[in-house]
Amino acid sequence: VVKCKSVSKIYKLPGVEEEVRALNSISLDEDSEFYPVKRGEFVIIRGPSGGGKTTLLNILGTLDSDFDGELFIMNNKITKDCSDDFLSRLRLKNIGFVFQSFNLISTMTALENVMLPMTIDSTSSEKEKLKRAKLLLGRVGLEDRMDHLPSELSGGEQQRVAIARALSNQPDILLLDEPTGDLDSTSTIEVMNLLLSINKFGPNNDRKSKSTIVMVTHNPELECYANRILYVQDGEFIKQAINEYQQA
């Protein structure tokens, strides 16, 4: 579902001579030790701060298409020349995002936040959207918090709303950047167990729609949840580890 070849990213700051080489020829490719992200895989990208993790995730998620090299998302070739319209359609249909700081809309309830991506994209009726949003909030364990505003929810609960929202358009890939970075250890475990369940059984809990997950973290304790851990340092993959079993 995700493949890339020699992806490099250089940040040029206006008025500054010096450039930052944030990614240095990163590949997820059949010809490389670092093979492409497979359907249903749970990949963790780990490494020190400033290593290029967020830059990489933003490129894989097509939020940033200003890079050198080749990227394929669900067999769509992504280049500098892709239009914003094409990329935003691709994101809306195929990719769910979760960020460290939840990024919920503060004036909307949990239910309204989850419905929002469907309102922008989906052709289904209002009734169907409502039904799916309620189902998803149930899936993340928040059936009794649907009408709460983000400010009336704990950090862990807000992040679970954000996960439900990311799943609302049935994306092929879920991308998460430090989703537990602002959470206490109890909420971290709750969120990680939820992600593992979504990866293994899918958003609908029917084992049919297993979600592919790519998650960035600097927390080594979370590695046990993944199938594969990619270590990023100084803009390069330095090694990978494969877990035979995923466990909570």
User: Quick one: what does residue 52 bind among Mg ion, ligand ADP, none, with the CB cut-off 5 to 8 Å set by partner type?
Assistant: ligand ADP
Tokens at 82, concatenated: 């892709």
Minimum distance, C-beta of residue 19 to ligand ADP, in the bound complex (Å): 9
Minimum distance, C-beta of residue 5 to ligand ADP, in the bound complex (Å): 19
Nearer Cβ to Mg ion (10/82)? 10
User: Quick one: what does residue 51 bind among Mg ion, ligand ADP, none, with the CB cut-off 5 to 8 Å set by partner type?
Assistant: ligand ADP
Within 13 Å and on the Cβ side, how many CA atoms surround 3?
Answer: 13
Q: Are 167 and 174 in contact (CB under 8 A)?
A: yes
With b for 16 or more beta-carbon neighbours within 10 A and e for fewer, the 49-83 pattern comes to eebbbbbbbbbbbbeebebebebbbbeeebeeeee
User: Quick one: what does residue 13 bind among ligand ADP, Mg ion, none, with the CB cut-off 5 to 8 Å set by partner type?
Assistant: ligand ADP
Residue of the chain from 2, 9, 46, 54 that contacts Mg ion (CB under 5 A): 54
- The residue written with tokens 């094409």 in the block is 86
Residues that bind ligand ADP (CB under 6 A): 11, 13, 20, 22, 47, 49-55
Minimum distance, C-beta of residue 241 to ligand ADP, in the bound complex (Å): 18
Q: Give the neighbor-by-neighbor strand order of the sheet with 42-46.
A: 95-98, 173-177, 212-217, 42-46, 228-233, 236-242
Minimum distance, C-beta of residue 53 to ligand ADP, in the bound complex (Å): 3
